[in-house]
């Protein structure tokens, strides 16, 4: 009798656990195979979400599927067919899609003026059009759930570091895209947020190096060769790069606590934040200085104080 009662209690507990898993709202994370994407997917799964993790290789998908509450999905954001299959999977599973993290991204190293058309198409195809392709496809689901879009940008969009021109262009475009959408989708109950990470451990430098090696003539006749190769080497070594878990914590807080704001800067060291703010303020001052109707110092101070108080 006691054994039968124990079995019933155990079965009820298992059913309750399954029910709680089914009740988890779904978050799609693209580019989830490594670095920030993997950290975000894993932390969201541990924080009560079910995660649909986009990856491209079978090996990456196998690793992701081994993690609790993570479902790996073969997803190349440059493929409309892959994106359509992903939406079909969500609809057929009757999941509540509460959020999207557009993390899939690539990087190209080299002087901006020497970037080939094909390389520019490649980086914009992933970093900008890929994010747009995913958002366009899942937007009806996010409107239904009142969900959140998190676009993974970069502090590089404000700092414009040398030899990363194509990357900066793509992330600046993603920033502008996010700002426009934030205003357009707010009345529909969909929130759009930009997260701007600093330098965190990832494989993006290795991917960029592999792409350079595939192009035999890269940098050979360029006056920027030494600087470009030095930049590439530094990215591969991940010197002074932070733990991507820091970014994952911020992303999870955006979903769970509704942290206010449209832009979130996450950097491993205070010096990075200071450098970014210096460049951002410099841009604002230059816009004012070279304007046909520049504001005076006191008026600029009043605007800054008012903006700070409004936030």
* 284 plus 192 within the same structural domain: no
Count of domains observed in the chain: 2
Domain boundary among the residues 253, 268, 283 is at 268
* 231 plus 276 within the same structural domain: no
Residue 205 — φ and ψ, nearest 5°?
Answer: -70, -40
Is 167 in the active site?
yes
Give me 153's structure tokens.
């940008």
* 187 plus 253 within the same structural domain: yes
* 257 plus 223 within the same structural domain: yes
Strand partners, 192: 149
* 81 plus 196 within the same structural domain: yes
* 244 plus 107 within the same structural domain: yes
* 172 plus 301 within the same structural domain: no
Catalytic residue, chosen from 49, 122, 167, 200, is: 167
Burial of 119 (0-12, 13-18, 19+ CB in 10 A): middle
Strand order in the sheet with 148-152: 70-74, 50-55, 26-29, 97-102, 148-152, 191-197, 263-266
* 181 plus 275 within the same structural domain: no
- Domain extent for 195: 2-268
**Rounded Cα–Cα distance for residues 192 and 44 (Å):** 18
> Averaged over 1-5, what is the pLDDT?
51
Helices (H), the chain: 2-23, 35-46, 58-65, 80-92, 117-127, 129-145, 156-159, 165-185, 204-213, 225-237, 245-256, 270-289, 297-310
CB proximity list for 68: less than 8 A, separation 6 or greater: 45, 46
pLDDT digits (tens, 9 = 90+) for 130-174: 999 999 999 999 999 999 999 999 999 999 899 999 999 999 999
* 175 plus 283 within the same structural domain: no
Q: To 10 degrees, what angle do helices 129-145 and 165-185 make?
A: 20
Q: What is the pTM of this model?
A: 0.88
pLDDT band at residue 87 using 50, 70 and 90 as cut-offs:
very high
Burial of 104 (0-12, 13-18, 19+ CB in 10 A): buried
Least trusted range by pLDDT, from 111-125, 211-225, 233-247 = 211-225
Q: To 10 degrees, what angle do helices 129-145 and 117-127 make?
A: 10
Output DSSP code: residue 295.
P
User: Is the dihedral angle over the CA atoms 63, 28, 196, 78 positive or is it negative?
Assistant: positive
* 210 plus 155 within the same structural domain: yes
pLDDT digits (tens, 9 = 90+) for 199-233: 898 877 667 666 666 554 566 678 888 888 888 78
**Closest residue by Cα to residue 97 from 51, 39, 130:** 51
Is residue 30 within 8 A of residue 134, CB to CB? The reply is yes
**Rounded Cα–Cα distance for residues 194 and 151 (Å):** 5
pLDDT digits (tens, 9 = 90+) for 258-297: 778 899 999 999 999 999 999 999 999 999 999 999 999 9
Give me 95's structure tokens.
């999941």
* Residue 147's CATH number: 3.40.50.720
**Rounded Cα–Cα distance for residues 48 and 252 (Å):** 10
Strand partners, 151: 102, 194
* 121 plus 198 within the same structural domain: yes
* 103 plus 223 within the same structural domain: yes
**What is the per-residue pLDDT for 262?**
93
Q: pLDDT at residue 243 above 50?
A: yes
């Amino acid at each position: 009798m006691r054994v039968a009662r124990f079995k019933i209690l155990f079965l009820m507990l298992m059913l309750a656990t399954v029910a709680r898993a089914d009740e988890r709202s779904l978050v799609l994370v693209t580019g989830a195979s490594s670095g920030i994407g993997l950290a975000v997917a894993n932390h969201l799964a541990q924080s009560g979400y079910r995660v649909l993790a986009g990856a491209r290789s079978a090996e990456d998908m196998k690793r992701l599927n081994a993690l609790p509450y993570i479902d790996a999905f073969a997803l190349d954001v440059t493929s409309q067919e892959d994106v359509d299959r992903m939406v079909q999977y969500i609809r057929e599973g009757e999941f509540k899609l509460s959020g999207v993290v557009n993390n899939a991204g690539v990087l190209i190293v080299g002087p901006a003026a020497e970037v080939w058309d094909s390389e520019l198409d490649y980086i914009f195809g992933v970093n900008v059009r890929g994010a747009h392709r995913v958002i366009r496809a899942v937007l009806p689901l996010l409107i239904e759930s009142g969900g959140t879009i998190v676009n993974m940008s970069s502090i590089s969009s404000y700092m414009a570091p040398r030899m990363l021109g194509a990357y900066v262009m793509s992330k600046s475009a993603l920033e502008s895209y996010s700002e426009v959408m934030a205003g357009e989708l707010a009345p529909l109950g969909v929130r759009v947020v930009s997260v701007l990470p600093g330098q965190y451990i990832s494989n993006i430098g290795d991917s960029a190096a592999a792409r350079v090696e595939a192009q035999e003539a890269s940098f050979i006749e360029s006056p920027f060769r030494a600087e470009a190769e030095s930049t590439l080497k530094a990215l591969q070594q991940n010197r002074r790069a932070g733990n991507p878990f820091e970014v994952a914590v911020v992303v999870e807080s955006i979903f769970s606590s509704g942290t206010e704001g449209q832009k979130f800067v996450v950097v491993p060291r205070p010096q990075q934040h200071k450098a970014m703010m210096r460049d951002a303020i410099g841009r604002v001052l230059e816009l004012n200085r070279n304007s046909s109707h520049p504001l005076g110092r006191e008026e600029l101070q009043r605007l800054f104080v008012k903006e700070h108080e409004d936030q």
